[in-house]
A and B are shown apart, each in its own frame.
Chain A
Amino acid sequence: EDKVVQSPLSLVVHEGDTVTLNCSYEVTNFRSLLWYKQEKKAPTFLFMLTSSGIEKKSGRLSSILDKKELFSILNITATQTGDSAVYLCAVVLIQGAQKLVFGQGTRLTINP
C-alpha cells in the first residue's frame, strides 16, 4: 500500500525560529513530490520536487528531496506568525495514469 508519512504532526515554535518538516514515503512508481500550505481554506502550492538533491527555494522556504532515502524536508527560516498553517506533503505516482497520495499534514503554530 502506498504510504506518505509526515512528522511531526504538530509543532509549536516562537517567531524567528527555524523549523524543519519531514515527509517520508513508501510508494511504487514515484513521479514527484509536492508541498502545500493550507491555512483556513484551500491548499496553496509551495514546491514540486522531482530530482534528488536539488534544493528549491522561495524566500524563507526551501525544500529538498532524497530519492534514495525516500524523504523530503521543508525548511522555514526566520518564521513569522503568518507561517502558521498545516503543511501537506503529497507524492505523485504514475500507475497508468497519475495519482496523488497525501500525508496527514504537519500543523505548525508560530507564537509571537
Chain B
Amino acid sequence: DSGVTQTPKHLITATGQRVTLRCSPRSGDLSVYWYQQSLDQGLQFLIQYYNGEERAKGNILERFSAQQFPDLHSELNLSSLELGDSALYFCASSLGQGSSYEQYFGPGTRLTVT
C-alpha cells in the first residue's frame, strides 16, 4: 500500500458524459501527478500539481482538467467523454516537485466509456 488513495476504483459511463476522479496523496507529499494508461498508448503523463499550482503538463486533452485543493487532494475532470478515453487513470504523489523525488502510485481508477 503506497498511501495514495484514489476513488472510485471503477467507473462506467456513457459517451458525452463528464466524470471526476479523486486522489489523496500520501501524508506530507506536496506534488500530485496524473497518468493515463491504455492498452494502445501505454502509460502517459497528463499533468502535475505542486502545493496547489500546476507545475507540468503532458499529453492532456483540452476536454480534461485538473486541480489541487488546499488540503492537497486533487481531482481530474474528464468531460465530453469518448470511447477512446476508456483507460486506467493513476494518480501519484511525491514530497517535492523535482525529479529527485520518488513518486508513489495509487491503485488507479478504471474508467469505461460505453
Residues of A at the B interface (CB closer than 8 Å) are 31-32, 34, 41-45, 48, 50, 88, 90, 92, 94, 96-105
Chain A residue contacts of B86, Cβ below 8 A: none
7 residue pairs of the A-B complex, CB under 8 angstroms, read: A48-B99, A90-B43, A97-B55, A98-B48, A99-B56, A99-B57, A100-B45
Residues of B at the A interface (CB closer than 8 Å) are 2, 33, 42-45, 48, 55-58, 90, 97-100, 102-108
Contact A48/B42 with A41-B107, A98-B55, A98-B56 known, Cβ cut-off 8 Å: no
Decide: B58 and A100 in contact? CB cutoff 8 A.
Answer: yes
Decide: A32 and B102 in contact? CB cutoff 8 A.
Answer: no
Chain B residue contacts of A103, Cβ below 8 A: 42
Chain B residue contacts of A44, Cβ below 8 A: 2, 105
Decide: B106 and A99 in contact? CB cutoff 8 A.
Answer: no
Shortest Cβ gap from B1 to chain A (Å): 10
Chain A residue contacts of B44, Cβ below 8 A: 102
Closest residue of B by beta carbon distance from A45: B102
Decide: A101 and B100 in contact? CB cutoff 8 A.
Answer: no
Bound together, the chains give a CA A85 to CA B106 distance in angstroms of: 17
Q: Which of A32, A41, A43, A96 contacts B99 (CB 8 A)?
A: A32
Closest residue of A by beta carbon distance from B91: A42
Q: Which of B45, B55, B104, B108 contacts A41 (CB 8 A)?
A: B108
Decide: A42 and B42 in contact? CB cutoff 8 A.
Answer: no
Contact A43/B48 with A98-B55, A99-B56 known, Cβ cut-off 8 Å: no
Top-7 shortest CB links A-B: A42-B105, A97-B56, A92-B99, A102-B43, A100-B45, A31-B99, A32-B99
Contact A102/B99 with A42-B107, A42-B108, A97-B56 known, Cβ cut-off 8 Å: no
Chain B residue contacts of A100, Cβ below 8 A: 33, 45, 58
